[in-house]
Chains A and B, each alone.
Chain A
Amino acid sequence: DSGVTQTPKHLITATGQRVTLRCSPRSGDLSVYWYQQSLDQGLQFLIQYYNGEERAKGNILERFSAQQFPDLHSELNLSSLELGDSALYFCASSEVGQDPSGNTIYFGEGSWLTVV
């Protein structure tokens, strides 16, 4: 158990809908990362937050947004969903935000999103 908690574990929704995925980082971790992994594909970096502020952005679609709250949990919002958005969405966390040297990222077990 990495200590990173993601909810829901599974979600099925229709095209055009909006969903919110939630992540609680490990205790003490200030950074949160979101990744998308489609079937048999690699891990696509979406976005990173550090202590409530956006730190880095990857290939995140404009239909997707995220935020990190004062209690450090994070939410990933996916809107106008398309069939191609079906994937496993991972949240990860780490202690370090200011200096990436030696940073170790710990992953949750993911949220399975199926768009039908």
Chain B
Amino acid sequence: LAKTTQPISMDSYEGQEVNITCSHNNIATNDYITWYQQFPSQGPRFIIQGYKTKVTNEVASLFIPADRKSSTLSLPRVSLSDTAVYYCLVGDSNYKYIFGTGTRLKVLA
């Protein structure tokens, strides 16, 4: 089971780029990396998923180095509405999709 480690919290200002890094040292060969966003009292929402190098969609980018032992979620020009908890999830061959503690991002005006 690939355990993930993320910073507990981060603060940023509106308009800045935010990078949240997740460590997953024992990621397996077939594992994908997925990031979720969760607002209070709501279900986690899929943001982005990747296997290697870089993936970009309309809301974020995901950078994965060659050794895949970490990944970085990049949120361009954050706004107050991006204040949320962000979870990094690594696929598990035992089908136990266990979330880590997540990173609580606070965007300040």
Show the binding face of A for B, using Cβ within 8 Å. 2, 4, 33, 35, 42-43, 45, 48, 50, 55-58, 88, 90, 92, 97, 99-110, 112
Contacts and interface: CB of A to CB of B under 8 A. Distances in A.
Contact of B92 (A88, A100, A112): A100
B101 interface: yes
B49 interface: yes
B98 A45 contact: yes
B43 A107 contact: yes
Nearest to B91: A100
Contacts of B44: 43, 90, 107
Interface of B: 30-32, 34, 36, 41-46, 49, 51, 87, 89, 91-102
Contacts of B102: 42
A88 B101 CA distance: 16
16 contacts: A4-B43, A42-B101, A45-B98, A55-B95, A56-B94, A90-B43, A100-B95, A101-B31, A101-B32, A103-B32, A103-B97, A105-B46, A105-B89, A109-B43, A110-B42, A112-B41
